[in-house]
A and B are shown apart, each in its own frame.
Chain A
Amino acid sequence: MPAIQMLGITKRFDPVLANDHVDFSLEPGEIHALLGENGAGKTTLMRILYGLYHADEGEILVDGQLAHITSPKEAITLGIGMVAQHFTLVPSLSVAENVVLGYTRGLGFDPLAAQQNVAEAAARFGIKTDPAALVRHLSVGERQRIEILKALYRNARVLIMDEPTSVLVPQEVNVLFETLERLRAAGLSVIFISHKLNEVMAVCDRITVLRQGRVVGTVDKTETSQAELACMMVGRETFGVVRHGEHPQGQVRLRLDHLNALDNKGLPALKQVSLEVQAGEILCIAGVSGNGQAELARVLAGTLKPAEGRILVEDQDLTGSDPSRFLAAGVGRIPEERHEGTIGELSVAENMVLERLDDFTRNGLLDRNLIRRHGEQLIAEYQIKAQPTDRMRTLSGGNIQKVVLARALSGKPRFLVASQPTRGLDVGATEYVRSKLLEQRDQGVAVLLISEDLDEVLALADRIAVIYEGRIVGVIPTQEASLEQLGLMMSGACPQGAARGGNS
């Protein structure tokens, strides 16, 4: 008998049908992936199972018994636990307090006894933790283990994990997978929500694919492939975006001249960075995160003033200028954190004109009709699933990024800075963003792409500049680059003897 059966689940968020008669079943002792693009309805379905949403139609059976789950509390009683994407921990409380919170009886609370109980539970499931530590001091991976422990402490037999790897570094992903396999061996069932094909193939037994709120199919891992799953997810054969031809030598649109900059803590973040980006090329900044990429992007947006050096955009010296002058000079920006690049409480149409308010002002007042028409036009052009009047925060990640992209490109930039533009996006949205970047390149825009994804770098770049500890350790044409060579350079080895200047 299945541990969980969800039959004909339908959930409507006007005007979107988030779940459309979804059937889902989970066997005891299996890791079952719920695979789909952002906005496919995976999280909605699981929030219904966990009692956070209420289905408009359909029924849920737990161990064959009809269950009406109207709150997380009831879900917990039925042995269902959920580890949400955004952790639900109280940072100021200890690990033990977080674990027992809401699962205590009686009046008194004994911190030491709670720590004892939690330590025992942790040992039973092989989870390493210090029950007395404050959650505030824990790493993301450790916090996630506390979330799992919290569910197990409540005698969960079904564990829902919502995109658990999206916040983890690779080593932590391995630890997570080991933990999940241990739980499976102990007879628990895990629902693994993801849009990452390789992870699903690595850890799951069965895979249910959702697309636009509907189930596309459920397959056994042994009987499928990443290519088939990708096809089911996006509804067509995926094709890697392709660069066309070699770029001709264009004029230099951006020149950085021995640029130095400090980070928030006043430490050197960029050291003697000199770069040129030409019209009609994509120059990628490759590197492990935290090596000065964020500061480089901020310098190029005008929000961080360089300590030394010069920034030239088409011979205009923009060193130390305000962000508005960068915009006026034809610099388009796709910021690293898309939620910071948009304002959640403003509408989609308003967000789309934020950088160019002057163009939408008539007699000192904003021309709301013009703003709305502009929004409608971009929404159609970039296939954004939203209305111009929707609040920005109600959009999915992929659609937010499309808004940011539309805003940057609608200003017809001559030089484009894109920071991690596909991070956290699903396959379809990633491909869309990449094809748009290539389109800009083909139209003669100079593109500076900052990316930590080497596949992306190799697929898009004409030239690759590797950054390490704030220094450009080398610039190589893509056709001469290999993964091994880039990996070496990114770890600080500089095959081109590019270590210029003294160490700081």
Chain B
Amino acid sequence: MEVLLIGLLAATLRVATPLILGTLGELFAERAGILNLGIEGTMFCGAFVGFVVGGATGNLWFGVLAAIVSGIFAGLLMGLMSVRLGVSQHVSGLGITLLLTGLSLFGFRLIYGEPRIPPSIQPFTKLSILGQVPILGEILGQYALTYIALALVPVCWWVLYRTNFGLQIRAVGENPEAADAAGVNVFLTRYLALAIAGGLMAAGGAFLSLAQLGAFTYGIIAGRGWVCIALIIFANWQPVRVLWGALLFGGVFALQLRLQTLGLKLPYEAFLALPYLVTIAALAVAGRNATYPAALLKAYKRE
């Protein structure tokens, strides 16, 4: 039982990591008034770019960096579509997901052909911060990226609520006309928010290929981007609640993995569906009082 619980908690943190990164990214986009449905593709692209660069240079951190740069470009592309051109955010976001998924798969074919088993690399090793301390040492023996993701939660809170840039993001996401009239550059603020968002999302993807799996597969993201879209509503656009949402989802995901091994006579898909069912249920409860950023989905144009 104790072993099971330790494994569960450790797995929870691991599963939650890409969700924390992705949802914090989406948080920046949506607080600035842009629903970025490019998140699924951006994470996929980040996983791919990180894997390729990490493998080619032999330095996994270069891989993470390259993934972040690719995410920033993805965010800026979203900005071009939704901020500059004022295209529907739904359409441009989904378009970016399709584009980046396709481009990444194309790049994958060029580099690796069609291998029968997915290519793999030596992934990040887990840190052992508390070394041999029983229980805690095992739970907290996580990848560095997990700690970075956890640390980013208060950092994002600080950026949003304790910097002028954060004030401007919150303002353009609620009332861009007001922000503009107050002398805030709405377009620049939204571009920057989307760039940050893209970088965080791509880092979440890179975590999967460079740490958790050490491999790249077609289904590596497996809808995690869409889960982030749901978590942001669950979190009511608050950074700290993003953490709780991601941990909840991660916990249920880790739990179903363990339930599968208990030998219950149920198809394994039923277990796989569990975290998503919990997400829907949590959304139904928490989402009812959701206060959307008022300018979400609205392109801003000066008259």
* Interface hits, A109-163 → B, CB 8 Å: 109-111, 150, 154
Query: What is the CA–CA distance of A98 and B168 in the complex, to the nearest angstrom?
Result: 10
User: In the complex the two chains form, is B183's CB within 8 Å of A88's CB?
Assistant: no
Tell me which of B179, B294, B303 contacts A52 (CB under 8 A).
Answer: B303
Tell me which of A86, A92, A103 contacts B182 (CB under 8 A).
Answer: A103
User: In the complex the two chains form, is A109's CB within 8 Å of B170's CB?
Assistant: no
Nearest Cβ distance between residue A94 and chain B, in whole angstroms?
A: 10
Given the known inter-chain contacts A89-B175, A89-B178, A101-B182, please indicate yes or no for A108 contacting B162, CB distance below 8 A. yes
CB-CB < 8 A to B177: which residues of A? 86, 88
Tell me which of B161, B163, B170, B294 contacts A107 (CB under 8 A).
Answer: B163
Given the known inter-chain contacts A104-B164, A108-B162, please indicate yes or no for A88 contacting B171, CB distance below 8 A. no
Nearest Cβ distance between residue A453 and chain B, in whole angstroms?
A: 31
Query: What is the CA–CA distance of A169 and B175 in the complex, to the nearest angstrom?
Result: 25
Query: What is the CA–CA distance of A91 and B165 in the complex, to the nearest angstrom?
Result: 18
A84 within 8 A of B: yes
A499 within 8 A of B: no
Nearest Cβ distance between residue B162 and chain A, in whole angstroms?
A: 5
B166 within 8 A of A: yes
Given the known inter-chain contacts A90-B171, A93-B171, please indicate yes or no for A52 contacting B302, CB distance below 8 A. yes
* Interface hits, A337-395 → B, CB 8 Å: none
Query: What is the CA–CA distance of A84 and B177 in the complex, to the nearest angstrom?
Result: 11
Given the known inter-chain contacts A72-B183, A101-B184, please indicate yes or no for A90 contacting B162, CB distance below 8 A. no
User: In the complex the two chains form, is A88's CB within 8 Å of B182's CB?
Assistant: yes
Tell me which of B162, B182, B294 contacts A91 (CB under 8 A).
Answer: B294
Interface size on B (CB < 8 Å)? Answer: 24
| Residue among B175, B180, B294, B303 with the highest chain A CB neighbour number at 10 A | B175
CB-CB < 8 A to B40: which residues of A? none
A265 within 8 A of B: no
User: In the complex the two chains form, is A91's CB within 8 Å of B174's CB?
Assistant: yes
CB-CB < 8 A to A104: which residues of B? 164, 167
A313 within 8 A of B: no
Query: What is the CA–CA distance of A73 and B180 in the complex, to the nearest angstrom?
Result: 9
* Interface hits, B146-172 → A, CB 8 Å: 161-168, 170-171
User: In the complex the two chains form, is A101's CB within 8 Å of B179's CB?
Assistant: yes
A77 closest partner in B (C-beta): B183
User: In the complex the two chains form, is B181's CB within 8 Å of A82's CB?
Assistant: yes
Given the known inter-chain contacts A90-B170, A90-B171, A90-B175, please indicate yes or no for A106 contacting B182, CB distance below 8 A. no
Query: What is the CA–CA distance of A63 and B32 in the complex, to the nearest angstrom?
Result: 38
User: In the complex the two chains form, is A91's CB within 8 Å of B303's CB?
Assistant: no
User: In the complex the two chains form, is B179's CB within 8 Å of A102's CB?
Assistant: yes
Nearest Cβ distance between residue A369 and chain B, in whole angstroms?
A: 32
A76 within 8 A of B: yes
User: Residue-by-residue, is B127-140 near A (CB-CB < 8 Å gives 1, otherwise 0)?
Assistant: 00000000000000
Nearest Cβ distance between residue B224 and chain A, in whole angstroms?
A: 29
User: In the complex the two chains form, is A106's CB within 8 Å of B164's CB?
Assistant: yes
User: In the complex the two chains form, is B178's CB within 8 Å of A88's CB?
Assistant: yes
A105 within 8 A of B: yes
Tell me which of A73, A82, A108, A154 contacts B163 (CB under 8 A).
Answer: A108
Nearest Cβ distance between residue B177 and chain A, in whole angstroms?
A: 5
Query: What is the CA–CA distance of A207 and B163 in the complex, to the nearest angstrom?
Result: 44
User: In the complex the two chains form, is B183's CB within 8 Å of A109's CB?
Assistant: no
A30 within 8 A of B: no
User: In the complex the two chains form, is A84's CB within 8 Å of B167's CB?
Assistant: no
CB-CB < 8 A to B171: which residues of A? 90, 93, 97, 101-102
A83 closest partner in B (C-beta): B181
**New A-B contacts (14) at CB < 8 Å, excluding given A100-B167, A106-B164, A111-B161:** A52-B303, A72-B182, A88-B175, A88-B178, A89-B175, A89-B178, A92-B174, A92-B291, A101-B168, A101-B179, A101-B184, A109-B167, A150-B182, A154-B183
Listed A/B pairs (5) with beta-carbon separation below 8 Å? A72-B182, A89-B175, A92-B291, A107-B165, A109-B163
